[in-house]
């Protein structure tokens, strides 16, 4: 019987525990938001897009095998044929001209050219004369080399890896931004819940004090004016309670939506403690920010892109030449096998060029525009760096100040709560006026709100510094996911 009683009692305790809603901590809300929020899912999708864009870039520098062709190439029509005497005769044609080409090509990043090898087979069917012929290229090697032109492959090889790094760091920043946003919604609800607790407590206290005051009035220990003042305080507390309930409901819905949860239960939040006090070296914060932030990588990328645009303007507005050269074997015959027997040499060399002679200053203008844009980009990057450094310096100073401020407001909260308890007991013993009790109540409420708001500012500053530097100063390590 004793064991049965213990089991039943344990079951009751367990059931009660499961029925209660465990308060969520700030760290839990941040983690849930990183896992389930729309913002975090968008960040993951953007990271995936960045990965495949980089894979596409890398593929451009690897050999490309392609099969092209025309199957079939059927024609039935009348064509214009000029006769020896100059007259025109329209002759019927009915044929099929099919072509298939297998090519292996490789881009050359150093020169911007392309080298390739290919094999080709062509079949021509003349249905009007019931004749079939084959033409083909058993083997051919060629090169297409721009001369004095802009090398896209060379500049992409410099810029695309930076874009990839920038995208990866942007993912880390996005999750840190989620943490910062979740902290904002967390404290919006926490402030609303604290206001609700204050309102509920004040309504209860004012109701109790009003009933005590009614009894005191009967005994002649307080005036009718004091009783009316307490009654007004009770009505104000009831209105504040209704307003606080609405604000808490709205803030709870906002936090749920951001976290991506559909739980209909009321959210209960615990008041977070400040992190253990840690020192922050400003120079370390600056070094880590410039090493980790996507904006820092973006500075280098922007300068390279500006330099690239200047080179493009210079190259594409001057002499443009392109060398095409091919060497291989070719043959023709009545069947495909004859193409590969006693094939003849096949050579082709072509140099194409365009040399602007009179452009009325257009080419120079384009180059000067590109140079001006490069200069503007350099100035913008320098300004952005200064702003960046200022933000980090300000955030480091702010967090260090808030670490001390939280401790002071917590102490003031405890003192104000103790003072109010003493004032309440003195009022019950008729040793304190209604006015002094009201002052103690206001000071208690203000001190409590100030403490919660100081915690909010502290944690938002904490996550802002993580966002700006992508560095965890508590663990002294870079942030990664």
23 pLDDT band (50/70/90 cuts)?
confident
Task: Give yes or no: residues 102 and 169 share one domain.
Answer: no
Is the same domain home to 242 and 276?
Answer: yes
What's the number of domains the chain is made of?
Answer: 2
Q: Do the domain assignments include residue 218?
A: yes
- State mean pLDDT over 15-24: 53
pLDDT in tens, 163-192: 999 999 999 999 999 999 999 999 999 999
pLDDT at 3 over 50: no
Residue 289 resides in a domain: yes
Which is nearest to 123 in space by CA: 110, 136, 113? 136
Residue 421 included in any domain: yes
Each residue's pLDDT tens digit, 257-288:
998 887 777 888 888 887 777 788 889 999 99
1 falls within a domain: no
How does pLDDT run across 334-379, given as a tens digit for each residue? 888 888 888 888 899 999 888 888 888 888 898 899 999 999 999 9
**Range of the structural domain that residue 430 is part of:** 23-58+154-304+364-478
Task: Name the nearest CA neighbour of 166 among 296, 39, 304.
Answer: 296
* Residue 473 half-sphere exposure toward CB, CA atoms < 13 A: 27
pTM: 0.79
SS3 of 182-225: the string is HHHHHHHHHHHHHHHHHHHHHHHHHHHHHHHHHHHHHHCCCCHH
> Is 9 among the domain residues?
no
């Amino acid at each position: 019987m004793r064991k049965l009683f213990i089991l039943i009692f344990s079951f009751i305790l367990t059931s009660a525990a499961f029925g209660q809603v465990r308060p969520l901590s700030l760290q839990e809300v941040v983690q849930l938001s990183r896992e389930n929020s729309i913002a975090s899912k968008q960040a993951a999708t953007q990271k995936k897009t960045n990965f495949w864009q980089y894979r596409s870039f890398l593929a451009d520098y690897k050999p490309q095998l392609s099969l092209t062709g025309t199957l079939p190439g059927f024609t039935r029509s009348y064509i214009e044929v000029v006769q020896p005497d100059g007259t025109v005769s329209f002759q019927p044609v009915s044929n099929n001209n099919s072509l298939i080409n297998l090519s292996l090509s490789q881009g050359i990043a150093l020169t911007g050219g392309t080298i390739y090898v290919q094999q080709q087979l062509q079949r021509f069917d003349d249905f009007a004369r019931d004749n079939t012929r084959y033409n083909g290229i058993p083997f051919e090697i060629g090169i297409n080399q721009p001369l004095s032109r802009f090398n896209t492959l060379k500049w992409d090889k410099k810029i695309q890896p930076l874009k990839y790094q920038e995208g990866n760091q942007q993912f880390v920043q996005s999750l840190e931004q989620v943490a910062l946003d979740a902290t904002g919604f967390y404290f919006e609800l926490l402030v609303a819940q604290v206001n609700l607790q204050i309102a509920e407590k004040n309504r209860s206290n004012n109701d109790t004090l009003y009933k005590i005051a009614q009894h005191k009035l009967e005994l002649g220990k307080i005036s009718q004016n004091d009783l009316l003042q307490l009654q007004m305080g009770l009505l104000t507390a009831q209105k504040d309670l209704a307003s606080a309930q609405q604000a808490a409901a709205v803030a709870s819905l906002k936090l749920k939506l951001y976290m991506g949860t559909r739980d209909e239960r009321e959210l209960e939040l615990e008041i977070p403690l400040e992190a253990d006090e840690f020192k922050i070296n400003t120079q370390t914060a600056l070094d880590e920010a410039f090493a980790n932030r996507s904006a820092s990588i973006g500075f280098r990328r922007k300068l390279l892109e500006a330099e690239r645009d200047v080179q493009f303007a210079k190259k594409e507005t001057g002499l443009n030449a392109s060398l095409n050269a091919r060497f291989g074997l070719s043959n023709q015959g009545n069947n495909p096998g004859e193409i590969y027997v006693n094939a003849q040499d096949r050579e082709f060399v072509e140099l194409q060029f365009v040399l602007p002679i009179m452009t009325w200053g257009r080419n120079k203008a384009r180059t000067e525009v590109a140079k001006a844009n490069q200069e503007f980009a350099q100035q913008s990057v320098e300004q952005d760096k200064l702003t960046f450094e200022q933000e980090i310096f300000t955030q480091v100073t702010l967090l260090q100040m808030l670490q001390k401020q939280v401790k002071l407001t917590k102490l003031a909260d405890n003192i104000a709560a103790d003072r109010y308890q003493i004032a309440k007991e003195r009022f019950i013993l008729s040793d304190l006026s209604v006015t002094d009790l009201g002052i103690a109540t206001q000071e208690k409420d203000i001190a409590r709100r100030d403490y919660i708001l100081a915690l909010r500012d502290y944690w938002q500053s904490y996550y802002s510094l993580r966002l700006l530097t992508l560095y965890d100063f508590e663990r002294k390590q870079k942030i990664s996911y």
